[in-house]
Structure 1
Amino acid sequence: MLSLEEKLAIVESFPELQRKDVSLGRINFHYEESSYDKKIVVYHLHPNGNGFVYADYVKGYATDSKGFINIRDFNGDELRTIIQKSILSLTDPSSKAQPKMDSPKEERWTDEDGHVLSVTFSEDLWYVYAGSNLDCAFETYEEVEEYMSEEGFAKQ
């Protein structure tokens, strides 16, 4: 589990989010450019590392009745990804104020025989290609890593 300081460093790397300190040492982060009434992206980030991210409009995540997911056990990549997806889900596609994306455009993975697979992220899915042929698609990066490991591939 990431510490509060590690989570804060990730969340604060998104310049489009504004920090709002709330009661009991908890911290919220608002996306003021939201195209919806909903503006809170990170909710009640607590000194013990617990917290929530708004994901009601994000596919592939189970949310509570208010549209939030618990991020207590998220690693750095998972946290960065869900925050990016949350911001994008609150952004009108026709708006010029699009959030920055830190996800790589393409990753190359190789096996010991020199075979190369490429991994790209597009429209909420991770795609694995062998040359120009689609090999498979995954909802999370963790699934990509597990698949690649099982198949004997390592990231370059």
Structure 2
Amino acid sequence: MLTFEQKQAIIEEFPQLTKKEISLKRLNYHFEESLYEKTIVVEKLHPNGNGFVFIGDLLKYEKEATDKGLVNIRDYSAEALREIIGDSIDYLSEEFDDEPVIEVWSDRMQTKLELVYDNRVWNIYHKENLEESFGTREAAVDYLREEGFRPAK
């Protein structure tokens, strides 16, 4: 587990974050350029190493996140901490695209599925039915390939 000081040093590698001291010697780090009302990326970083990173509704972290979109970083490695902070900043600085990205995939039986990127989520549809949702394109493509699908021509 990283120490408080190690986590603080990693967080401060992100120049777009502003440190603010709060009660009990805890720290918050704000992303002032957030496109949304939410600006806190790192919340309640405590001298005991506990703390949270805001990731909103990113499916990539859905198993770890609270219902408020926070992930506890107590046991995070340096690499994982850098990744989640970067994802949080990207999340808060990304505008929703009105036009979804749609890709058609098919298998040997000519069954067609649509891979749709919409509102930060990669969804797989069979006709009008949602089959699966993924936080990353890579995870969605891995699933499709495992199920025998390839990009349609």
| Same fold, TM-score > 0.5, yes or no | yes
Any residues of structure 2 matched to 1:67-146 within 5 Å, and which? Answer: 67-93=69-95, 124=136
Aligned residues of 1:44 and 1:51 also touching (Cα < 8 A)? yes
> Which position in structure 1 is the counterpart of 2:16?
16
User: Is the contact between residue 57 and residue 86 of structure 1 (CA under 8 Å) also seen in structure 2?
Assistant: no
TM-score normalised by length of structure 2 = 0.61
RMSD: 2.2
Equivalent residues, number: 102
Q: Does 2:39 correspond to 1:36?
A: no
Matches of 1:53 and 1:125, distance apart in 2: 22
Q: Secondary structure of the equivalent of 2:93?
A: coil
Point out the structure with max Rg over C-alpha.
2
Write out aligned runs for 1:32-71 (5 A): 32-62=32-62, 63-71=65-73
What letter corresponds to residue 79 of structure 2 in structure 1?
A: D
User: Could you state the TM-score of these two structures normalised by the residue count of structure 1?
Assistant: 0.60
State, as a whole percentage, how many aligned pairs show the same letter.
Answer: 46
Going from structure 1 to structure 2, the CA distance change for 1:75 and 1:37 (only over 3 Å counts) comes to same
Q: Distance in 2 between matches of 1:5 and 1:125?
A: 34
Instruction: Structure 2: give runs of 5+ residues left out of the alignment.
Output: 97-134, 144-153
Q: Report the alpha carbon displacement of residue 53 of structure 1 after superposing the two structures with TM.
A: 0.1
C-alpha contact (below 8 Å) 2:7/2:78 kept by paired residues: yes
Bigger mean CA deviation after superposition, 55-64 or 66-75:
55-64
